[in-house]
Structure 1
Amino acid sequence: MDFTHFNEEGRAHMVEVGRKNDTKRIAKAYGKVRMKKETIEMIKDGLIKKGDVLSVAQVGGIMGSKKTSELIPMCHNIFITGSNIRFNILEESIEIESEVKTVGKTGVEMEALTAVSMAALTIYDMCKSIDRSMVIEEIKLMQKSGGKSGEFIRKDD
């Protein structure tokens, strides 16, 4: 067998984190779903046929954070100590913020980004029958702390 395509000098492999110290790690991510004003009103009034959009999206986001290592190929399986999703309803969009926490050897940035993505996709899925023009946008890491690289806070917003 020829194993030359996947070796430590080159291609696909998970980063070894076994020698790292366990530290408290937190990551926050942001995203937005743009939609018609009428769709926002239907969400606020509880008129979406599939149910309470934001409650389901919150659960979807939290579940997404817990499943990140199954979705992202080289992402480590992490014990998440906390995961939350918050929403801000605007006139033509819903802003989403996730916060994910752990104590471990690697950060939770991917889990926070996945949480926002899954919440946004859940909103889209629940509302697509009335508004297929929705746009998921601006998914980005806002903040992270812990680990060797220290703190990151997005400054451009």
Structure 2
Amino acid sequence: MSKDPEVPPGVRPDAPEKLSHYDEAGQAHMVDVSAKSATRREAVARAFVELNESVLAALPENPKGNPLEVARFAGIMAAKKTADLIPMCHPLPLSFVDVQATVVAGGVEIRATAATVAGTGVEMEAMTAASVAALTVYDMTKALDKGIRIREVVLESKTGGKSGDYRRTAE
């Protein structure tokens, strides 16, 4: 990451000047990663589901099942379906997916980790896992409160690949 105050955190100063998913004619396309080396790549994403105290207190008791366990499974399943949901994502052989849903002050923190040995990264798989897990918490608790907020779906870190490692800095 750059220490240059003119470059926002997370932005590579050596980044290309155009988006990679567009060709010279401006048409969206899948990036050709066939020349990239298959290396171990890992990404961690986070989401936060803001819940009021009464919903938090009701979490263990739900006729649909334990909301946090269902959210974990939904996130894992979503990571495996990322290429089906995001048009330009490459289908990846995931070697690991983990989703944790933890009750914290003010809500539920979701943390999703995805890993592969491939020619492209797993940021989208981790982000999809965190997002769908958060949506599942909403689905399983919405009967108690329609004002639930999902916020802060972010990439926390990534390792491996040509662009190098990334770690979100404190905001």
TM-score, normalising length: structure 1: 0.92
2:30 pairs with one of 14, 25, 29: 14
Rounded Cα–Cα distance in structure 2 between residues aligned with 1:24 and 1:59: 24
1:41 aligns with 2:57: yes
CA apart distance, 1:61: 0.2
Could you tell me which residue of structure 2 aligns to residue 96 of structure 1?
110
CA apart distance, 1:11: 1.2
1:108 aligns with 2:122: yes
1:130 aligns with 2:144: yes
The DSSP-based 3-state class of the residue aligned with 2:36 is coil
Structure 2: 5+ residue stretches without partners: 1-21
CA deviation map 1:125-154 (0-9, x unaligned): 111111111000000000000010110000
Rounded Cα–Cα distance in structure 2 between residues aligned with 1:17 and 1:74: 12
Rounded Cα–Cα distance in structure 1 between residues aligned with 2:88 and 2:152: 23
1:66 pairs with one of 73, 76, 80: 80
Letter in 2 for 1:27: A
Q: How does 1:141-152 map to 2 (within 5 A)?
A: 141-152=155-166
Letter in 2 for 1:127: T
1:118 aligns with 2:132: yes
Letter in 2 for 1:129: A
User: CA-atom RMSD, angstroms?
Assistant: 1.3
1:23 aligns with 2:39: yes
Q: Is the 8 A contact 1:23 1:147 kept in 2?
A: yes
The DSSP-based 3-state class of the residue aligned with 2:31 is coil
The DSSP-based 3-state class of the residue aligned with 1:40 is helix
CA apart distance, 1:116: 0.2
Q: CA separation of 1:68/1:34 partners in 2, compared to 1, >3 Å: closer, same or farther? A: same
What percentage of aligned pairs have identical amino acids? 42
Q: Is the 8 A contact 1:40 1:91 kept in 2?
A: no
Rounded Cα–Cα distance in structure 2 between residues aligned with 1:26 and 1:105: 12
TM-score, normalising length: structure 2: 0.84
Structure 1: 5+ residue stretches without partners: 1-5
Deviates more, 1:82-91 or 1:60-69: 82-91
Could you tell me which residue of structure 2 aligns to residue 3 of structure 1?
none
